[in-house]
Structure 1
């Protein structure tokens, strides 16, 4: 027997991130318990048969259910205002599970072309081989989304803010479009987390997370999640239980602890990113800064309507192209040169040669990802130290640009 958590219908996100999904065992532990077991025992043959038949609640096998994983699912569902949540082994596993759980051969997807490079690869090069077709459109062009719809369109998919240019998609408008067409709207909420943005409240049908990023918050584990209506999640849950891209209990436990500081972290990430974005806009080495908290962002008003804060991801174009970008990356000392984001540590990456390196040059150009673009995941260090680190890098970038004649 376990002690159920208290009702949390009126709790605020800061409280939900700490208290939702708590089911204490008979040991009365204060921290969430970690259930490291592959299977569960039955009191009788009759109970085993009932569990497998689905007529009796309880655990069978950790690929199906695990108390630690379920605690994380309940907490994320509460944070997103969802009926249910399905946890997966990674963010990309969450994407795959969504597509495989909702679609079949012959179905059509409309997706923003401004999404994670691996998601583009999944849609084009893997799912495309199995009869699923995807049309990519500009995230901010609602007319293009509508033109792309077909009679067999079953799903609309976007990231907002987008990776890496922080473009903003109008969730409410796209949700209305999807409903009118009889399709589902799926929103990747990785950059904002439910603390800053709640797509379901804006009309989305499902929300996807890479728990690896801000939800963990310290770059320790892989994980993913899908949140939404229980009925709509039946297919994805069955796919996880059958195909096995399930989240490990240990990773779920780490992510549960990470959620406890999520609200505090997102405020600091956003504060630091805004200060750096404003400073970068004043630097002559920088051609353009992409950050939804800036007045220069073309969708700042929409971002303010959908998001509580602008988040911790910003990108900027350097004068001097790849030579300048790589020189800056090689000169910084605090920013970690890694493709991960959402970490307490600030990170820097060159999307054209890393996260979007397998995307064709034509597709990168269409998405606005140039050779001089750098993406920052602004961490929790002191902003003055981060600014000084980038200043050192910008000096190196200017020297590289002069040497190349750019």
Structure 2
């Protein structure tokens, strides 16, 4: 399979990530300002009846009605598609908007879906609670075992849903192996690439048909917007878009503009975040109060070799377990001074959550066990602060357990 460096060698005109985020939308030149305008309009004017007819009949036109598209959406979609190496992209009002719209576009009553045991909690709830209501069967498998995917395939299997690294356990899926298996059976593969970002991992390079993101995270980068992105080929994009305009998970023009701004610095932020997270993970492994650290960049991670094969960097999120239980974990999280105790990840500031406390309100005990979330689990999203300040803060909090 052709990897990114091979693509660049064959196409010397291919731009690198740092240039794509700045110039990937240069072909869209309908403003005079250096900084693109915010098109805060629900609808757009046609100059004649014939032009209106043409615009209204063009799928995903950016200057018809903002539920269908918007000029700032067009810019974001061009940049993210280039980063992911896909033909095109769609934007939605949230990451779950992207995931739900994609899944509902690609399956129907009587179909079968294969999903991982470890998924973001809302994705798990779609698989476990929503799809069965519409006559879609779902089989959950251990994502670290490719043979489990193969054993789960049925004649009516239409979709394999993967997420790697998975939230919050950081278990990996072998993208190349799963995609090769799916291709043999004509099954569409959808990958949630939120935890990696297109800077650290490009699932489409390994054969994934549709790549989805919560752009609220790394792409936005400042914890000030919610957005989702769907990256795929033109044929599937139109199919998904037809569902999107019915469901209406619309990205506002302002959030689209904020997302465009966040994308401009994405490679630079990811570089710093990758370095900080690896250093903090190594630090945590040597702390006596820490039971275990889960981070794909560590040699101790059981899938470290796979991580090195399919990822360029290992991302912001470190999962670790505190010695003790629920109460000790609560004390540690409460004692931290720098990272807010808040959900989300991938922004400029570090964030921390006691994972069990976060998810117990929306998942039942069986779903928690399926997701592999013990009572003493911490999810730490590393930001761009100075690493020594982060280490010192973690050190003083561990001493208060």
Following the alignment from structure 2 to structure 1, what is the Cα–Cα distance between the partners of residues 359 and 27?
Answer: 39
Question: Counterpart of 1:147?
Answer: 151
Q: After the TM superposition, which residues 1-400 of structure 1 pair with which residues of structure 2 at under 5 Å, given as runs?
A: 10-23=14-27, 25-54=29-58, 59-355=63-359, 357-397=361-401
Q: Is the 8 A contact 1:351 1:357 kept in 2?
A: no
Question: Counterpart of 1:401?
Answer: none
Question: Counterpart of 1:4?
Answer: none
Following the alignment from structure 1 to structure 2, what is the Cα–Cα distance between the partners of residues 101 and 388?
Answer: 48
Following the alignment from structure 1 to structure 2, what is the Cα–Cα distance between the partners of residues 336 and 55?
Answer: 42
Q: CA RMSD in A?
A: 1.8
Q: 1:54 to 1:340 in 2, by over 3 A?
A: closer
Q: Is the 8 A contact 2:273 2:384 kept in 1?
A: yes
Q: 1:27 to 1:255 in 2, by over 3 A?
A: closer
Moved more, 53-62 or 386-395: 53-62
SS at match of 2:235: coil
> In the TM superposition, what is the alpha-carbon distance from 1:362 to its structure 2 partner?
3.1
- Deviation string for 1:278-312 (max 9, x for gaps)? 11111111110000111100111110111111111
Q: 1:31 to 1:56 in 2, by over 3 A?
A: closer
Structure 1 residues without counterparts, runs of 5 or longer: 1-6, 398-406
Q: 1:56 to 1:33 in 2, by over 3 A?
A: closer
SS at match of 1:196: coil
> In the TM superposition, what is the alpha-carbon distance from 1:20 to its structure 2 partner?
0.6
Following the alignment from structure 1 to structure 2, what is the Cα–Cα distance between the partners of residues 25 and 233?
Answer: 24
SS at match of 1:61: coil
Question: Counterpart of 2:4?
Answer: none
> In the TM superposition, what is the alpha-carbon distance from 1:24 to its structure 2 partner?
5.0
SS at match of 2:261: helix
Following the alignment from structure 1 to structure 2, what is the Cα–Cα distance between the partners of residues 127 and 55?
Answer: 27
> In the TM superposition, what is the alpha-carbon distance from 1:352 to its structure 2 partner?
1.5
Count of aligned pairs between the two proteins: 391
Structure 2 residues without counterparts, runs of 5 or longer: 1-10
> In the TM superposition, what is the alpha-carbon distance from 1:54 to its structure 2 partner?
3.5
Q: Is the 8 A contact 1:210 1:225 kept in 2?
A: yes
SS at match of 2:399: helix
Following the alignment from structure 2 to structure 1, what is the Cα–Cα distance between the partners of residues 368 and 31?
Answer: 54
> In the TM superposition, what is the alpha-carbon distance from 1:55 to its structure 2 partner?
9.8
SS at match of 2:189: strand
